[in-house]
Structure 1
């Protein structure tokens, strides 16, 4: 990343590469394998080839930057002083490296955003609820850290944490049949996972290397539940 800041090869600037890495980490398949190839090319001084995405057979809704800002800026507290984001960038960089810089500036449009949600909820977060809240946290989530899922489960008045041992942003886009089964039981009849329950991702980011000597190993179960 330091080399990209000083000597970017063509269009692959430092900023573009940070954005590319953050976006590619969201979905394990096929994002991680393609990302690994691009980073390997950059490391070896080659300009990565990036083919355009195939056209979608279905009409896609408009997903411009202002669509995300309308949600982020209207629902969450953000500094109204544009100059405050420089300090936020440095603090975020210390905590989360290059990705921290990206996320700090992602909220910068909120400094001048003209609207605020009429019924934005600002707490308290520990009010008793009619039913126990099920919180699902992915251990290696690049956008919503697992530590924050644990903190949320502790802060809510009555919550149960289901740990998804896997990668990428949420178990919804990086599936685990184990998580889906628990979620279905929860929504249909209110059944909670056992305390300390842990699920595994169906497919890891990279295939495990085959053992030498012609000995094959069998796959384990998708769920690893500890109570």
Structure 2
């Protein structure tokens, strides 16, 4: 979604949790292995062969039998071999056995900007089913511009604190000018600090890096699980290299035919759907901070609370007060996962009584702000990728103002803030290189697209659309709440995906799980 003051359409709470628990990657001894002959030389342009034929030097890192390596990729695929290369961070945990090895399973947790290496080392290497880990080397690569792969940076931590507190629902010319100035300062900071890579962090380039990694790993086909934005990355790979597709799971899908404005409006409606589910649950409980009446009354109560915070922030026990911008993000962060609803109820109750620490903590989780005040690179990589992949949703504040009624219709609670949040790419220093278009991957092996019916960040119709576009896709539906479905408690979903990963057999068409 396009969060206030960022452009984070497919942000996953799981990625935030994984990055917060990122393990140390200290390294020691070396072990090299040449890639297998995974494709003919004729299939690779001569200038790219040194990248495809490189050997990865693996070294212990992060504990618990993890290994790390560095993949070399051209900064600009139009000029490979120019000497301007990128160093991309790769990590793996080898298959535990027993059973015949199925090769590598590449993971991406979403974002864009989520650290895949952090996700692997903090969750996936132990959180994935034992029978999957027995047969696959679990592999992750931080995409270009992300985490340990030449990360995009834009602002100091202090500047970032100010940025996240800028009023996201301007009431007049002065507040609008301040919001625009904040977006411009952010963009100029990215150009000043990360100008070398800023023009080369598109999803297409990241997908091309994945194919270089596939070859360097010695795999003939790419096996992949991508969540949220990772579905767009995986579908882009499949469209570029359909005959190199192995087993692809795309969970929480994006519809690549949508414009940035449509993406933001759809997601605004998705968060309203998630809030409605939260409110329905809340008002049935004693002590619900939004009352015990109707959902409409609960919505009005939250909107009124946000309005009060716009002029009267509440203390949090630290230097940052809880105003409307951070409170909005605190609520939105809990919409990604229904298991966060109890925490949100407690945080809202405290904030309405004048203590905002709980909601601030939820906002910090979303923004990946650590307790020491530092921000993860996701806040910078996210707009860098999104503003390159698609033309901006809006080009002027006047365009935003005209669209606010449509956004508020989609969500009376979040519509105004999310409309203004979509203005950020208007001031981006790099022209977009991508446009909305369908992805077909003609000739690819069977692909599984997973959609959750009440997913707030990647609405279910997007999964249906992507499954229709991809020529070999099967749609697997989870009738439930939250963002993404695999590994979230549905044995029906998990069994279907595990069977596909282990056998290549996709679920039956129209399979629906609860």
**TM-score, length-scaled by structure 1:** 0.69
Q: Secondary structure at the match of 1:7?
A: helix
The question of 1:37 aligning with 2:351 is answered no
Partner in structure 1 of residue 413 of structure 2:
98
Matches within 5 A, 1:159-174: 159-172=473-486, 174=488
Q: 8 Å contact 1:78–1:110 — kept in the other structure?
A: yes
The question of 1:107 aligning with 2:422 is answered yes
User: 1:48 Cα shift?
Assistant: 4.2
The question of 1:191 aligning with 2:513 is answered no
Say if 1:176 and 1:115 are closer, same or farther in 2 by CA, change over 3 A.
farther
User: 1:61 Cα shift?
Assistant: 8.0
> What do the CA deviations read for 1:22-74 (whole angstroms, capped 9, x no partner)?
11111333x211112233455xx423452558998xxx982353221012111
Partner in structure 2 of residue 203 of structure 1:
none
Matches within 5 A, 1:107-186: 107-116=422-431, 120=434, 122-126=436-440, 128-172=442-486, 174-186=488-500
Q: 8 Å contact 2:453–2:481 — kept in the other structure?
A: yes
1:27 to 331, 337, 347: 337
Say if 1:183 and 1:100 are closer, same or farther in 2 by CA, change over 3 A.
farther
Distance in 1 (alpha carbons) for counterparts of 2:439 and 2:488: 28
Give unpaired runs (5+ residues) of structure 1: 201-227
1:15 to 321, 325, 334: 325
Q: Secondary structure at the match of 1:178?
A: helix
Q: 8 Å contact 1:182–1:193 — kept in the other structure?
A: yes
Partner in structure 2 of residue 4 of structure 1:
305
> What do the CA deviations read for 1:61-96 (whole angstroms, capped 9, x no partner)?
823532210121111232461222233333222113
* Higher relative contact order, chain-length normalized (CA < 8 Å, sep 6+): 2
Q: Secondary structure at the match of 1:196?
A: coil
> What do the CA deviations read for 1:182-201 (whole angstroms, capped 9, x no partner)?
2233233321111221223x
Q: 8 Å contact 1:27–1:174 — kept in the other structure?
A: no
Distance in 1 (alpha carbons) for counterparts of 2:491 and 2:437: 33
Give unpaired runs (5+ residues) of structure 2: 1-301, 315-320
Partner in structure 1 of residue 172 of structure 2:
none
Q: 8 Å contact 2:395–2:423 — kept in the other structure?
A: no
User: 1:144 Cα shift?
Assistant: 1.0
Aligned residues: 194
More strand by share: 2
Distance in 2 (alpha carbons) for counterparts of 1:145 and 1:16: 24
Partner in structure 2 of residue 216 of structure 1:
none
> What do the CA deviations read for 1:148-205 (whole angstroms, capped 9, x no partner)?
22233234434221111222111247343432332233233321111221223xxxxx
Partner in structure 1 of residue 353 of structure 2:
46
Partner in structure 1 of residue 128 of structure 2:
none
**TM-score, length-scaled by structure 2:** 0.33
